[in-house]
Structure 1
Amino acid sequence: MSPTLGGVTGPAQRATLPTIPRQRVQPDGVRTPAATTSRKTRLVTVGAVVAGLAVLLLGYLRMARATPTNSDAAANALQAWDMLHGDVLLRGWTLSDVSFYSTELLQYALIEVFFGLDQRVVHVASATTYLLLIVFASLAAKGDATGRAAWARVAVVVATLLVPQPHGGWAVVLYAPDHTGTAVPLLLAWLLVDRRSATPLRRWWPVGVLVVLALAQVADPLAMFIGAVPLALVSAARLIRGRTWRGTDAHLLAAAAGSVVLAHALLALVWWAGGFSVHSPVARFSPAAELGDHVVTAVNATAHNYGAYLPTLDGPLALAAGLVNLALLLLVVAALGATVVRFFRTSPDGASPDGSSPGGGDRIAQVLTAATLVNLSAFIASTQAGDIGSARQIVAVLPFGAVLAARVWGDRLLTAAPAVRRIGAVAGVILVVAFATQSAGAKPQPPEAHEVAEYLVAHDLRYGLGSYWGSNVITLASNGRAQVAPVIGPDIRSYRWESDADWYDATKHDARFLVIDLKHARYGTVDAAVAQFGVPVERHDFGRWALLVYDHNLLAGLPAQCGGLAAATHTHCPPLSPKIPGAGLLD
Structure 2
Amino acid sequence: MTEDESRRRRARWAWVGGLAALALVLFFVYLRLSRTYAATSDGADQALQGWDMLHGNWLLRGWTIADVTYYTTEVPEYAIIELFRGLRADDVHIAGAATYTLLVLAAGLLARGRSTGREGLIRFAVAAGIMIAPQFGNATHLLLSQPDHLGTSLPVLLVFLMLDRAPRRWYIPVAAGVALTWVVIGDRVALLTAVGPLAVVCAARVLFAMLRYRKSLASQWYELSLVAASVVSFAAAELAVRLIGALHGYKITPVASARIAMLQFLPHHVQATVGGIRNMYGADFIHISQNSLFGPQLGGLPLSVGVALAALHFVGLALAVWGFFRAFRYFFDPADLVSPVLATGIVINVAAYVPSVVSARIWDAREIVAVLPFGAVLAGRMVPSQLARLPRRAKQALAFVGVGVLACYLAGLGFGAAQS
CA distance in 2, matches of 1:298, 1:134: 23
Show structure 2 runs of 5+ residues with no match: 211-215, 289-297
8 Å Cα contact 1:225/1:375 also seen in 2 = yes
Give the superposition deviation at 1:322: 1.8
Q: Identify which of 402, 406, 409 aligns with 1:431.
A: 409
1:363 aligns with 2:337: yes
Aligned partner of 2:285 in structure 1 is 310
Counterpart secondary structure, 1:209: helix
Aligned partner of 1:254 in structure 2 is 228
Q: Identify which of 166, 173, 184 aligns with 1:196.
A: 166
Judging changes above 3 Å, is the alpha-carbon distance between structure 1 residues 54 and 318 closer, same or farther for their aligned structure 2 residues?
A: farther
Q: Identify which of 229, 245, 249 aligns with 2:196.
A: 229
Matched letter for residue 426 of structure 1: G
Aligned partner of 1:213 in structure 2 is 180
Q: Identify which of 303, 316, 329 aligns with 1:328.
A: 316
Aligned partner of 1:153 in structure 2 is 123
Give the superposition deviation at 1:318: 3.2
Give the superposition deviation at 1:387: 0.9
TM-score (norm 2): 0.89
Matched letter for residue 112 of structure 2: K
Give the superposition deviation at 1:415: 5.3
Give the superposition deviation at 1:203: 2.6
CA distance in 2, matches of 1:379, 1:197: 34
Q: Identify which of 327, 337, 347 aligns with 1:339.
A: 327
Give the superposition deviation at 1:41: 6.2
Judging changes above 3 Å, is the alpha-carbon distance between structure 1 residues 48 and 139 closer, same or farther for their aligned structure 2 residues?
A: closer
CA distance in 2, matches of 1:221, 1:156: 29
Of 73-82 and 40-49, the range deviating more from structure 2: 40-49
Matched letter for residue 307 of structure 1: G
CA distance in 2, matches of 1:322, 1:410: 24
8 Å Cα contact 1:231/1:252 also seen in 2 = yes
Aligned partner of 1:23 in structure 2 is 3
CA distance in 2, matches of 1:231, 1:401: 16
8 Å Cα contact 1:235/1:250 also seen in 2 = yes
Give the superposition deviation at 1:280: 2.1
Aligned partner of 2:61 in structure 1 is 91
Counterpart secondary structure, 1:278: strand
Aligned partner of 1:71 in structure 2 is 41
Judging changes above 3 Å, is the alpha-carbon distance between structure 1 residues 233 and 41 closer, same or farther for their aligned structure 2 residues?
A: closer
Counterpart secondary structure, 2:150: coil
CA distance in 1, matches of 2:307, 2:54: 44
Matched letter for residue 433 of structure 1: A
Judging changes above 3 Å, is the alpha-carbon distance between structure 1 residues 194 and 48 closer, same or farther for their aligned structure 2 residues?
A: closer
Larger radius of gyration: 1
Give the superposition deviation at 1:410: 3.1
Q: Deviations over 1:354-409 (max 9, x none)?
A: xxx5x2x6211100011001111111110011111111111110001111111111
8 Å Cα contact 2:193/2:349 also seen in 1 = yes
CA distance in 2, matches of 1:79, 1:73: 10
CA distance in 1, matches of 2:97, 2:103: 10
1:440 aligns with 2:418: yes
CA distance in 2, matches of 1:409, 1:277: 46
CA distance in 2, matches of 1:273, 1:62: 41
Matched letter for residue 125 of structure 1: A
8 Å Cα contact 1:153/1:410 also seen in 2 = yes
CA distance in 1, matches of 2:94, 2:384: 31
Matched letter for residue 393 of structure 1: E
CA distance in 1, matches of 2:94, 2:245: 30
Matched letter for residue 332 of structure 1: A
8 Å Cα contact 1:297/1:388 also seen in 2 = yes
Aligned positions, number: 395
Give the superposition deviation at 1:308: 0.6
Aligned partner of 1:404 in structure 2 is 378
CA distance in 2, matches of 1:39, 1:341: 35
CA distance in 1, matches of 2:171, 2:86: 38
8 Å Cα contact 1:96/1:278 also seen in 2 = yes
Q: Identify which of 221, 224, 245 aligns with 1:271.
A: 245
CA distance in 1, matches of 2:4, 2:325: 47
8 Å Cα contact 2:104/2:131 also seen in 1 = yes
Judging changes above 3 Å, is the alpha-carbon distance between structure 1 residues 46 and 414 closer, same or farther for their aligned structure 2 residues?
A: farther
CA distance in 2, matches of 1:102, 1:271: 15
Give the superposition deviation at 1:411: 3.6
Judging changes above 3 Å, is the alpha-carbon distance between structure 1 residues 187 and 40 closer, same or farther for their aligned structure 2 residues?
A: closer
Give the superposition deviation at 1:42: 5.5
1:102 aligns with 2:102: no
Matched letter for residue 434 of structure 1: G
Give the superposition deviation at 1:44: 5.0
8 Å Cα contact 1:413/1:421 also seen in 2 = no
Give the superposition deviation at 1:95: 1.1
Give the superposition deviation at 1:43: 4.8
Instruction: Supply the RMSD in Å over aligned alpha carbons.
Output: 2.1
1:295 aligns with 2:270: yes
Aligned partner of 2:400 in structure 1 is 422
Matched letter for residue 175 of structure 2: G
Q: Deviations over 1:187-230 (max 9, x none)?
A: 111112112318xxx43111111111111111111111111111
1:57 aligns with 2:27: yes
Judging changes above 3 Å, is the alpha-carbon distance between structure 1 residues 143 and 45 closer, same or farther for their aligned structure 2 residues?
A: closer
Aligned partner of 1:555 in structure 2 is none
Does 1 or 2 have the higher relative contact order (CA < 8 Å, sep 6+)? 2
Matched letter for residue 165 of structure 1: Q
Give the superposition deviation at 1:138: 1.6
CA distance in 2, matches of 1:338, 1:70: 40
CA distance in 2, matches of 1:251, 1:24: 38
8 Å Cα contact 1:153/1:411 also seen in 2 = no
Q: Deviations over 1:71-90 (max 9, x none)?
A: 12111111111110111111
Which protein is richer in helix relative to its size?
Answer: 2
Aligned partner of 1:381 in structure 2 is 355
CA distance in 1, matches of 2:176, 2:18: 32
Show structure 1 runs of 5+ residues with no match: 1-20, 26-34, 347-356, 444-587
Give the superposition deviation at 1:324: 2.6
Which protein is richer in strand relative to its size?
Answer: 1
CA distance in 2, matches of 1:338, 1:405: 9
